Amino acid sequence: MSVVPVIPEGFVPELIALDVDDTLVHHLGGVSERVVASIERVRDAGIVVTIATGRTPSTTIPVARAAGIDDLIVCSNGALLVNVEVEKTIEAVTFDPRPVLEELIEHLPNAVFAVESPSGMFRTTRMFPTGPLAMSVREVPFDHLLDEPIVRIVVRSEEHTEEGFGPIVERLGYQSVIYGVADVAWLDVGPKGVNKATMLERLCALRGYDPAKTIAIGDSWNDTAMLSWAGLGVAMDTAPPAVKEVADTITNGTPGEGVADVLDALVL
C-alpha cells in the first residue's frame, strides 16, 4: 500500500532539509529527474531546500548541485556548515580527539580508527571502503590521529558484529554517538551536543528562517534529532520504528520518490 505523507492544512515551510542516503538518493545512486523537478517547483514558490547529511562535503556537494541546491548545506552530522556555490566550510564544530581515542583504544585495541578534519579529509589507521562518506582518505599511524582538532571519529570492528558497540558506548557515555552493525560494527563519534538539528538551527539563524516553519525528511538514527526539531518531521517508510516514532508523518520509503511526494504535496 502506498504511503502518503500528511501535510497540515495551511502549513507553508520556509526551509526543507533533506537527508541524502536512502532518502534523497539510493545508496551510491544519483538524483532522479522527478526529485530535481520537484525541488525546482518548491524553490520557485519561495521555499528553500537544503541538505543535512552524515557525508563529508566532498561527496555531498556533487549531490547538492545535481539536485539544484546551491547555498548552505549541513554535512558531517551537523559538525559542518558548507557553502555549495564556493565549496567552502562556513562553520565547523571541532573537538580534541585525544581523550576519546585513548579511551576507545583501551576497549577496542584491534579496531580501525579514523578521524575527519574540518576540511573533510579522513585519516585512518587502516584503509576501509568509505562509499559515499568521503573521497579523501589517508592511512597514518594511530598517534597521528591525536593532535589536531577534528569534527568526527569513526571506529570499525569486525570483532563486534555480534554484540555491537552498545555496551562500550554506555560505559564511555559520549553524547553525540551513532552506532550500528552492517558488515562490520561501526561507531560514529561527533562533538558533544552536535547533530543535524543544531546546525540547521544555526542555518535558520543566519538566514532568518523560522524553525517552526521547517520540514526535515530522513530515514535513520542520525536523523532523529532533526525530525524532532523540525516544524514537520517526515520519516521514510523504511526507517526503523524508533525513528518513525519521532516523526510527524511518514512518506514513501523509496529514496527520491518519498521526498518528491512531500514536495509535490506542497506545490503541485
Domain 98-189 has CATH 3.30.1240.10: yes
HSE-CB of 215 using CA atoms within 13 angstroms: 25
The model's pTM is: 0.91
Outline where DSSP puts E strands in the chain: 15-18, 48-51, 72-75, 80-83, 88-92, 112-116, 122-124, 137-139, 152-157, 177-181, 185-189, 214-218, 232-236, 249-251
Q: Identify which of 205, 227, 206 has the alpha carbon closest to the alpha carbon of residue 216.
A: 227
**Do 94 and 191 contact (CB within 8 A), yes or no?**
yes
Question: pLDDT for 74-88, tens place per residue?
Answer: 999 999 999 999 999
Average pLDDT of the chain to the nearest whole number: 90
pLDDT at residue 188, rounded to an integer: 86
Residue 31 contacts by C-beta under 8 Å, 6 or more apart in sequence? 24, 25, 63, 66, 67, 256
Q: Beta partners for 234? A: 217, 249
Task: Return d(Cα 118, Cα 114) in angstroms, integer.
Answer: 13
- Residue 174: pLDDT above 80? no
The CATH number of the structural domain formed by 15-92+194-266 is: 3.40.50.1000
Residue 16 contacts by C-beta under 8 Å, 6 or more apart in sequence? 42, 47, 48, 49, 50, 214, 215, 216, 217, 262, 263
Q: Identify which of 12, 19, 18 has the alpha carbon closest to the alpha carbon of residue 45.
A: 12
Question: pLDDT for 203-250, tens place per residue?
Answer: 999 999 999 999 999 999 899 999 999 999 999 999 999 999 999 999
Question: pLDDT for 21-37, tens place per residue?
Answer: 999 999 778 999 999 99
Q: What phi and psi, each to the nearest 5 degrees, are found at residue 172?
A: -80, -35
Question: pLDDT for 48-82, tens place per residue?
Answer: 999 999 999 988 999 999 999 999 999 999 999 99
C-alpha cell of residue 126: 587502516
AA identity, residue 135: M
User: Where along the chain do its domains lie?
Assistant: 15-92+194-266, 98-189
Give the total residue count for the chain.
268
- Residue 131: pLDDT above 80? no
Question: pLDDT for 133-169, tens place per residue?
Answer: 666 788 999 999 999 999 999 998 887 776 667 777 7
By CB atoms closer than 10 A (0-12, 13-18, 19+), residue 157 is: buried
**Do 142 and 166 contact (CB within 8 A), yes or no?**
no
Residue 113 contacts by C-beta under 8 Å, 6 or more apart in sequence? 101, 104, 105, 124, 125, 142, 145, 153, 154, 155
